[in-house]
Amino acid sequence: MENKKEFKSWLEGHNLPHPLVIAGPCSAETEEQVLKIAHELKDSDVTYYRAGIWKPRTRPGNFEGVGAIGLKWLQRVKEETGLLTATEVANRNHVELALEHDIDMLWIGARSTVSPFIVQEIADALEGTDKVVLIKNPVNPDLALWIGAVERIHNAGINKLGVIHRGFSTYDKSKYRNNPEWQIAVDFQTRFPDIPLINDPSHITGKRDMIFDVSQTALDLNFDGLMIETHHTPDKAWSDAAQQVTPDTLKQIFKDLRIRKTSD
Ligand code: PEP
Ligand code: MN
pTM for the full model? Answer: 0.96
Q: What is the pLDDT of residue 180?
A: 98
pLDDT in tens, 115-146: 999 999 999 999 999 999 999 999 999 999 99
Query: Pocket of ligand 1, candidates 50, 135, 166, 200: which has the most ligand atoms within 8 Å of its Cβ, to mutate?
Result: 166
pLDDT in tens, 184-208: 999 999 999 999 999 999 999 999 9
Ligand nearest 238 Cα, by number? 2
Residues sharing a CB contact under 8 Å with residue 10, sequence separation 6 or more, in sequence order: 16, 132, 160, 162, 196
Split at pLDDT 50, 70, 90, the class of 5 is confident
Q: What is the pLDDT of residue 14?
A: 54
- Burial status of residue 171 (CB atoms within 10 A of its CB: 0-12, 13-18, 19 or more): exposed
Which ligand 1 atom sits closest to the C-alpha of 26?
3
The 10 Å CB-count burial string (b at 16+, else e) for 119-143 is bbbbbebbeebebbbbbbbbbebeb
69-81 helix and 92-100 helix, angle to the nearest 10 degrees: 40
The mean pLDDT of 226-230, rounded to a whole number, is: 98
Q: Whose CA is nearest to atom 2 of ligand 1?
A: 26
Q: What is the pLDDT of residue 3?
A: 67
Whether pLDDT at 4 is above 80: no
Whether pLDDT at 264 is above 70: no
Separation CA 87–CA 96 (nearest Å): 13
Query: Pocket of ligand 1, candidates 29, 57, 88: which has the most ligand atoms within 8 Å of its Cβ, to mutate?
Result: 88
Whether pLDDT at 217 is above 90: yes
Determine the length of the chain.
264
Pocket around ligand 1 at a 6 A CB cut-off: 26, 52, 56, 109-111, 136, 166, 203
Residues sharing a CB contact under 8 Å with residue 183, sequence separation 6 or more, in sequence order: none
Mean pLDDT of the chain: 95
Split at pLDDT 50, 70, 90, the class of 262 is low
* ipTM of this complex prediction, to 2 decimal places: 0.99
Could you tell me the domains of the chain?
A: 5-256 (3.20.20.70)
pLDDT in tens, 172-190: 999 999 999 999 999 999 9
Whether pLDDT at 2 is above 90: no
Residues sharing a CB contact under 8 Å with residue 184, sequence separation 6 or more, in sequence order: 137, 141, 143, 146, 165, 168
Split at pLDDT 50, 70, 90, the class of 10 is confident
More confident residue, 7 or 218: 218
